[in-house]
Amino acid sequence: MKKAVFFDFDGTIADSSEGIMECALKTVQPLGYDISKYSKDYLRRFIGPPLSDCFRITFNVPEEKIQECVERYRVFYKEKGMYMMHTYPGIPELLKTLKSMGIKTAIATNKVKELAELCSQNLGIYELFDYISGPPKDGGVTKAGVIKLALEALKLEKEDVIMVGDTINDEKGAEEAGVDFIPVTWGFGYTEESCKEDRRADKPDDILKYIGGER
């Protein structure tokens, strides 16, 4: 049985899409972008990678404007965006089940650590995690890096852990860190069609079978 489950945050623990998208559009609008042309489907690509990469990939923001956008986004997100989210159905129950089984839990996210902690507190799930791992600032640590930080903090070996996430960024990070990975299909990236049926989670409870705790 695995000793720990590490979770991505956005798109895995919480549906934070509304707040993220609103703050992203509000950030780039002063640069002259026509925000009406960006669909929700298109903006999904903004969720997951480090913020600086998000502005490059999604809006092709000039390099000299990236840091300005990151800082402006942070202000908007703290004011409003971080309150525009909810946990996916079944997540709090899964976390409680894992705790009752003696399985350690951690968040391993590209979201700045302070924000990940605040969001978890707002959602009422902060106490259900043994550790929250995120970069001290945007782009300061890779996905693999935050996974490794959680391993060190919880004194775990790579083979003890399974990483759960909704995007290729999560999968690549897990691979680089040397831990097992399970994609979830309720978030912003993977779908039932893009994942193997015997190696995916379509609902939170499905994760239990991959740690040896199937009910």
CATH number at residue 100: 3.40.50.1000
DSSP 8-state assignment for residue 10: B
Q: 119 and 189 in one domain?
A: yes
Q: What is the pLDDT of residue 47?
A: 84
Assigned domain for 215 exists = no
For residue 112, give the nearest of 140, 131, 84 by alpha carbon.
Answer: 140
Q: What is the pLDDT of residue 139?
A: 64
Please state the domain count of the chain.
Answer: 2
- Residue range of the domain that includes 56: 17-83
DSSP string, 153-198: HTT--GGGEEEEESSHHHHHHHHHHT-EEEEBSSSSS--GGGS-TT
Q: What is the pLDDT of residue 51?
A: 87
Question: How far is 162 from 160, CA to CA, in rounded Å?
Answer: 7
Q: What is the pLDDT of residue 214?
A: 45
Q: Please, what are the averages of pLDDT over each run of 10 residues along the chain (215 residues)?
A: 96 94 95 92 85 92 94 92 95 97 96 93 97 84 95 97 94 96 91 78 95 60
Assigned domain for 168 exists = yes
Assigned domain for 139 exists = yes
Q: What is the pLDDT of residue 192?
A: 74
